[in-house]
Amino acid sequence: MIGGGPDALLDHELIKYLLALAIPRGDTKPLARRLLAAFGGLGPLQSAYDESLARIGGLTENSVAALKFALAAALRLLKTEVEDRRVLGSWQALLDDLTADMAYRATERVRVLYRNSKSLLIRDEAISEGSVTTPRCTCGRSCAARSTAGRAP
């Protein structure tokens, strides 16, 4: 990994090494392969609820935590990148951040992105989360109140 960079490892190898942090003396490769097969890929696995992960045999509370640490680190890195750039000058960077955070979520989420007069992101806040109808209700209340401030161009 050190010489080859992040693409040097396959998805199951990344999961294997994360699991090895919590299961140091065991063979984690079969478990890593089972997890990827059960969840359909790295993204859905990383975003899975703890209860869903616990149903897979061989996972301990510590191994679930090791998987979640990787997700937290990845999201923090992406958030730092977005906060350090001109968001409106780079829609792709914004979309990359939102996709990384929301693509595999089991619930819907409404987020408000606050920007300053120079179009720099100063705050990213999740204001509503829940079923498919929950964000619609939140947005519907905003429309009903005829809110106009902060609309993107």
Which tokens is 138 given? 């939140």
Domain residue ranges in the chain? 6-84
H-helix or E-strand containing 64?
A: helix 61-83
Quote the CA–CA distance of 112 and 123 in Å, as a whole number. 8
State the pLDDT at residue 32: 94
The pLDDT tens digits of the residues spanning 23-47 come to 888 899 999 999 999 999 888 888 8
Q: Give the pTM.
A: 0.57
The pLDDT tens digits of the residues spanning 42-55 come to 888 888 888 888 88
- CB 20 within 8 Å of CB 28: yes
Pairing mode of beta strands 121-130, 108-115: antiparallel
- CB 74 within 8 Å of CB 100: yes
Give the mean model confidence (pLDDT) for residues 48-63: 87
